[in-house]
Chains A and B, each alone.
Chain A
């Protein structure tokens, strides 16, 4: 089954909470726990939405986003991305994302944002 959402997040408890919240809305949510292999995970899952943490080990969210946008496959390259950032760190690094959410976030805001992006 195709994933609705792939979340790339190295903090397991954040990932677990987000998956729980979004799964309750009926979306299929997959997780990838590291910056390394992030772009390969997106290629393999081809989700409708990527939730991407900016500060990841081994490869930053900004690097993964840049690789995604540079993909030869135009459908893949245009995958919507919701970037999770700390206040003040987003700047240019996250400028290619479709939306941003600042940590710590409200679960209702997360749900509403994802709903808008998957509509």
Chain B
């Protein structure tokens, strides 16, 4: 990976270590690297991985982003974010004087940043709760269950009370139905209350999808520990899918295919040798993360571009669910099903990744049914100089600093942008 974007990270690590009066050897031992390697990092002569930054940050008792990006840059970005918040409509903050404001009034700046972050967190929580109430499949299904049971109870009870001369066998049948529906109603109501209770759990602002992604990133064990029924249901489905994939392509077969697939290993060649679908091979590589695919992640979307599965690659921070960058090769693959698109991509911070994207089409309901598309993108962290045709991508427009991007949908909160000019089309 290029050391360019991280040139100052080593300096910040060194400054922070010295501010704490810690010896280089002690810190190196604490984070599991050699003192010589830490010395190279501190002199900006070696790149430092995201994972190592996080370990160093924990030891040095600072947020990881302050080490990686620098305290000043983080604070300036936070102030810019606060300045463009819609709540400030009507006021015109002096954006060109952000750095001066921070330098002259660090206490006020810190207070403003804290308030903006608090407001942002509350807004996100509100949006998440609103999404759950209106779009959450678990909530909709549960409410449908309640409504169905109530409808059955009301109609059946009214028959028993209002209708004359009901035959004994029908009366008995309707009583049994009432009993059955009342039991179903009480169980569903209990599940709904438990689910609503999970909304109030401290720190549970994440959607079920985010919760499942975090669980998956931690190894995907014990889904029972997840906080909501919806997250547990989603995690169970993910586990079932992983198990089916592992049975279709066991670890051993996958590992044996890798050395025969060139350098770096070519998943298309592996799929051909194994005589298995490429999307299965891509999913298994992201699951097992064998040599050559360390830190790999996976994105799967349907034909509408909605992301069905998001498994972050190391160093590839995913945006919030529902957000994405239109330049991700995943979406380009949808236009060329059954072929495979290999593309090096670079994030705004300079991190490089090798991506392989593959789209498929299916007609599960036969010739008369709809054609369904699905694309899979394997994302593998890459080292070394960026290839000439590297595609510059972002996480999502709102948190992407790239100026003049042809795919930009909305202004960035990170840096002042040129006016957005949506591409014209038919």
B147 x A103 contact (CB < 8 A): yes
Q: How far is the CB of B140 from chain A (nearest CB, A)?
A: 9
Q: Within the assembled complex, what's the spacing in Å between the Cα atoms of A18 and B154?
A: 11
Question: B31 CB to closest chain A CB, in angstroms?
Answer: 54
In the complex, are the beta carbons of B152 and A14 less than 8 A apart?
A: yes
Q: Which residues of B contact A106 (CB under 8 A)?
A: 154, 158
Nearest opposing residue in chain B for A13, CB measure? B152
Interface of B is mostly: helix
The reply to whether the CB of B314 lies closer than 8 angstroms to some CB of chain A is no
Chain B residues within 8 Å of chain A by Cβ, number:
21
Q: Enumerate chain A residues within 8 angstroms of B225, measured Cβ to Cβ.
A: none
Contact B180 A13 (CB under 8 A): yes
**B:121-175 near A, CB below 8 Å:** 143-144, 147-148, 150-156, 158-159, 162-163, 170, 173-174
Interface contact A13-B181, CB-CB below 8 Å: yes
Q: State the CA gap A105–B147 with chains docked (Å).
A: 11
Q: Is B332 positioned at the interface, with any CB of A under 8 Å from its CB?
A: no
* Interfacial chain B residues near A55, Cβ < 8 Å: 144
In the complex the two chains form, what is the Cα distance from A14 to B170 in whole Å?
Answer: 14
CB distance from B191 to the nearest CB of A (A): 18
**Cβ-defined contact, B163 with A24, below 8 A:** yes
CB distance from A70 to the nearest CB of B (A): 13
| A93 CA to B156 CA, complexed, in Å | 28
The answer to whether A17 touches B144 (Cβ under 8 A) is: no
A55 smallest CB distance to B (angstroms)? 6
Size range of the interface on A?
10 to 19
The distance in angstroms between the C-alpha atoms of A18 and B158, with both chains bound, is: 11
Per a CB cutoff under 8 Å, which of B151, B156, B170, B180 touches A103?
Answer: B151
**A32 CB to closest chain B CB, in angstroms?**
17
B159-199 CB mask vs A (1 if < 8 Å, else 0) is: 10011000000100110010011000000000000000000
Do the beta carbons of B152 and A107 come within 8 Å of each other? no
Bound together, the chains give a CA A105 to CA B157 distance in angstroms of 12
Complex Cα–Cα for A105 and B151 (A): 7
A83 CA to B56 CA, complexed, in Å: 62
Residues of A within 8 A of B144 (CB): 55, 86
The answer to the question of A99 belonging to the interface, with a C-beta cut-off of 8 Å to chain B, is: no
Interface residue? A21 (CB, 8 A):
yes
Once A55-B144, A86-B144 are accepted as A-B contacts, the answer to whether A104 and B150 lie under 8 Å apart by CB is yes
Task: Say whether B151 contacts A104, CB under 8 Å.
Answer: yes
A21 to B143, CA, bound (A): 26
Could you tell me which residues of chain A, from 16 to 37, have a CB within 8 Å of some CB in chain B? Answer: 16-18, 20-21, 24
List of 3 A-B pairs having minimum Cβ-Cβ separation, nearest first: A17-B155, A13-B152, A104-B151
Contacts A103-B147, A105-B154 supplied; 12 other A-B pairs, CB < 8 Å: A11-B151, A13-B152, A13-B177, A17-B156, A20-B170, A21-B159, A21-B163, A86-B147, A104-B147, A104-B155, A106-B158, A107-B158
28 contacts between A and B (CB under 8 A): A11-B151, A13-B156, A13-B180, A14-B148, A14-B152, A16-B173, A17-B152, A17-B155, A17-B156, A18-B155, A20-B170, A20-B174, A21-B155, A21-B159, A86-B143, A86-B144, A86-B147, A103-B147, A103-B148, A103-B151, A104-B147, A104-B153, A104-B155, A105-B151, A105-B154, A105-B155, A106-B154, A110-B155
